[in-house]
């Protein structure tokens, strides 16, 4: 193929076909021979077309070779990737082959074959139905960030056609450093037989109008949080859609180092699940503020492995807490949610009992939840409530604050800081593209279940629904509630002092017997 010097592109036979120019990075993609190649690029960087040129070239140069191209959904496959393949063939002046509906593939005259595969299946009992049975030498997955890791693993096992060079090529949009894709293809210290290639928008400037590049640079100027991803093709927080708290949450306004208020309960909210169990700690003041103190999200951890991590960080960060009030995902009340006997709720209650966590009545904690907390209308309402707190001040201070440091991503052999909750508040947690409709609410939008940001945000939603009883107060109403709270603290302290004194007075642990003497009584009612 041509260089980026302005010469016409040529196919491998030397015939002039079309005025398409490939720059140095594009040629690097075509020439890559590693078994696993990850191509991540900025918008309009031509990564998909370059890979399809590579595939069509391989189909021509290796008669009898079989490749597969794939997207997650059938719609994206048929409406985006397959048309791109046909267009690339047209630009190269080569046939795309004869469509074989039975095998869902294009058959070429030289015996080569291109399968067109969607990886998402509706068959719950066979998650890998669309790839099992395939035997190919090459497999290309576009938009890999949409694909669960286990599905990718199954697809990679299809590279088994003998007698041909074998290669898995993927082209995700740039991913965060904690994504499973980034772990497989690190930008530094690359694994043997793995190749990471990055494209910027400027790498494709020879095929783009200068006005197109200027428009992109104007949309994502220097300092924009998405410039590195959209323009430079760098890894980072890459999401599409309108943030749930757009215009409400601001890092400069809402991030502050926070201390626990020892006179308010420590509120604890759980989202269950093996892939990303999650807990969030926060406090709510009835006169109208919410303080999010920290949280832990697990990665591929069962609840019995996750709870000791939660206990350790809770005691490390909040040793002087008044008490714990806990809530959770109502799905935690369902049997076998963790693949073990009992429910997550009963497991959590047992954990609190075994570790002596008591409620304000001195009884073991029972996790509370609302059975309809996951209804779209309820989730939308909790998002609206939280956005209201973000926009208000109470008694001269912000009604909503988040600690910037107490955020842990925990794996079985690794625990590290990760801003998963803050990133979600900022731009990661987005609304679904399609509106919902309700008789009471009319048209409204619901936050997207994305498999990553949703877990911390769902914890927040459960907590708001269960414990946040009012909107922020101001003026005399706020002052009145503060005064009531201060009086209750005095009462609690007095009761605690009396209880402590009672425990220290031995005579009160004795009972009078006949003859005026005393006999010792056992404590605890025995």
In this structure, are 420 and 390 located in the same domain? Answer: yes
Residue 356 falls within a domain, yes or no? yes
Residue 436, burial from CB neighbour count under 10 angstroms (0-12, 13-18, 19+): middle
Which tokens sit at 204? 């494709």
Residue 75 falls within a domain, yes or no? yes
- Residue 497 confidence (pLDDT): 55
In this structure, are 365 and 483 located in the same domain? Answer: no
Q: Looking at the predicted structure, is the pLDDT value of residue 13 above 70?
A: no
491 confidence band (pLDDT: 50, 70, 90)? low
Lowest-confidence segment of 182-186, 305-309, 390-394, 489-493 by average pLDDT:
489-493
- Contact call for residues 299 and 355 (beta carbons, < 8 A): no
- Residue 16 confidence (pLDDT): 42
Q: Which long-range contacts (CB under 8 A, 24 or more apart) does 207-210 make?
A: 207/20, 207/21, 207/46, 208/44
Q: Looking at the predicted structure, is the pLDDT value of residue 84 above 70?
A: yes
Q: Could you give the number of structural domains in the chain?
A: 3
Range of the domain at 328: 251-473
CATH number at 316 reads: 3.30.420.280
Q: Over 297-310, what HEC string results? A: EECCCCHHHHHHHH
Residue 328 falls within a domain, yes or no? yes
Which tokens sit at 364? 């073991």
Q: Over 66-95, what HEC string results? A: EEEEEECCHHHHHHHHHHHHHHHHHHHCCC
Q: For the segment 405-426, what is each residue's pLDDT rounded down to a tens digit?
A: 999 999 888 899 988 999 899 8
| Rounded Cα–Cα distance for residues 71 and 48 (Å) | 12
470 confidence band (pLDDT: 50, 70, 90)? confident
- Contact call for residues 433 and 449 (beta carbons, < 8 A): no
Q: Alpha helix (H) ranges present in 302-394?
A: 303-317, 344-354, 376-391
| Rounded Cα–Cα distance for residues 174 and 145 (Å) | 8
Q: Which residues contact 359 (CB under 8 A, 6 or more apart)?
A: 323, 324, 325, 365, 366
- Residue 494 confidence (pLDDT): 59
In this structure, are 460 and 501 located in the same domain? Answer: no
Q: Give Cα separations from 299 to 404, 416, 435 (angstroms).
A: 21, 12, 31
In this structure, are 267 and 296 located in the same domain? Answer: yes
451 confidence band (pLDDT: 50, 70, 90)? confident
Residue 352 falls within a domain, yes or no? yes
Residue 241 falls within a domain, yes or no? no
In this structure, are 18 and 141 located in the same domain? Answer: yes
Q: For the segment 349-368, what is each residue's pLDDT rounded down to a tens digit?
A: 999 988 888 877 778 888 99
Residue 448 falls within a domain, yes or no? yes
In this structure, are 496 and 483 located in the same domain? Answer: yes
Q: Within 10 Å of residue 269's Cβ, how many Cβ atoms?
A: 28
In this structure, are 208 and 166 located in the same domain? Answer: yes
In this structure, are 485 and 415 located in the same domain? Answer: no
CATH number at 204 reads: 3.40.50.300
- Contact call for residues 67 and 115 (beta carbons, < 8 A): yes
In this structure, are 87 and 203 located in the same domain? Answer: yes
Residue 273 falls within a domain, yes or no? yes
- Residue 193 confidence (pLDDT): 94
Please report, rounded to a whole number, the percentage of residues in the chain having pLDDT higher than 70.
84
Q: Which residue has the higher pLDDT, 44 or 439?
A: 44
Q: Which residue has the higher pLDDT, 241 or 329?
A: 329
Computed over every residue of the chain, the mean pLDDT equals 85
- Residue 476 confidence (pLDDT): 66
- Contact call for residues 327 and 270 (beta carbons, < 8 A): yes
In this structure, are 498 and 451 located in the same domain? Answer: no
339 confidence band (pLDDT: 50, 70, 90)? very low
Please report, rounded to a whole number, the percentage of residues in the chain having pLDDT higher than 90.
58
472 confidence band (pLDDT: 50, 70, 90)? confident
In this structure, are 435 and 517 located in the same domain? Answer: no
What mean pLDDT comes out for the span 241-269? 94
- Residue 212 confidence (pLDDT): 94
487 confidence band (pLDDT: 50, 70, 90)? low
Residue 243 falls within a domain, yes or no? no
Q: Within 10 Å of residue 225's Cβ, how many Cβ atoms?
A: 14
In this structure, are 292 and 304 located in the same domain? Answer: yes
Q: Looking at the predicted structure, is the pLDDT value of residue 379 above 70?
A: yes
């Amino acid at each position: 193929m041509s260089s980026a010097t302005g010469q016409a592109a040529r196919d491998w036979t030397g015939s002039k076909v079309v005025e398409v120019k490939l720059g140095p990075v594009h040629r690097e993609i075509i020439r890559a021979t590693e078994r696993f190649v990850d191509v991540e690029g900025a918008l309009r960087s031509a990564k998909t077309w370059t890979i399809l040129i590579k595939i069509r070239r391989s189909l021509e140069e290796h008669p009898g070779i079989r490749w597969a191209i794939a997207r997650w959904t059938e719609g994206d496959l048929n409406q985006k990737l397959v048309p791109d393949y046909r267009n690339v063939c047209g630009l190269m002046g080569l046939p795309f082959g004869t469509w074989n509906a039975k095998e869902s593939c294009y058959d070429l005259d030289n015996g080569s074959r291109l399968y067109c595969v969607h990886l998402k299946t509706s068959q719950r009992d066979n998650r890998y139905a669309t790839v099992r049975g395939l035997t190919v030498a090459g497999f290309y997955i576009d938009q890999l960030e949409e694909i669960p890791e286990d599905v990718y693993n199954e697809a990679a096992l299809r590279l088994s056609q003998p007698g041909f060079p074998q290669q898995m090529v993927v082209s995700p949009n740039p991913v965060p450093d904690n994504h499973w894709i980034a772990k497989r293809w690190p930008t530094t210290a690359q694994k043997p037989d793995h190749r990471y290639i990055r494209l910027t928008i400027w790498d494709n400037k020879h095929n783009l109008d200068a006005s197109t590049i200027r428009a992109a640079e104007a949309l994502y100027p220097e300092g924009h949080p998405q410039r590195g991803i959209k323009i430079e093709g760098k890894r980072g927080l890459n999401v599409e859609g309108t943030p749930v708290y757009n215009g409400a949450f601001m890092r400069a306004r809402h991030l502050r180092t926070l201390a626990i208020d020892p006179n308010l309960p420590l509120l604890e909210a759980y989202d269950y699940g093996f892939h990303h169990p999650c807990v969030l700690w926060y406090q709510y003041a009835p006169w109208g503020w919410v303080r999010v103190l920290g949280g832990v999200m697990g990665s591929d951890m069962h609840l019995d492995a996750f709870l000791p991590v939660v206990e350790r960080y809770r005691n490390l960060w909040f040793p002087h807490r008044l008490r714990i009030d806990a809530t959770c995902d109502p799905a935690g009340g369902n049997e076998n949610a963790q693949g073990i006997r009992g429910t997550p709720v009963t497991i959590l209650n047992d954990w609190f009992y075994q570790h002596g966590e008591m409620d304000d009545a001195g009884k073991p904690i029972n996790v509370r939840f609302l059975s309809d907390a996951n209804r779209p209308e309820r989730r939308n309402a909790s998002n609206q409530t939280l956005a209201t707190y973000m926009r208000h001040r109470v008694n001269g201070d912000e009604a909503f604050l988040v600690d910037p440091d107490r955020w842990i991503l925990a794996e079985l052999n690794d625990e590290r800081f990760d801003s998963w909750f803050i990133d979600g508040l900022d731009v990661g947690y987005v609304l679904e593209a399609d509106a919902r409709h309700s008789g009471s609410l009319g048209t409204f939008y619901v936050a997207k279940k994305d498999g990553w940001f949703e877990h911390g945000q769902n914890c927040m939603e459960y907590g708001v629904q269960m414990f946040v009883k009012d909107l922020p107060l101001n003026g005399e109403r706020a002052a009145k509630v503060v005064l009531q709270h201060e009086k209750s603290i005095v009462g609690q302290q007095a009761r605690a002092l009396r209880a402590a004194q009672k425990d220290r007075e031995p005579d009160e642990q004795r009972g009078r017997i006949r003859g005026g003497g005393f006999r010792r009584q056992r404590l605890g009612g025995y």
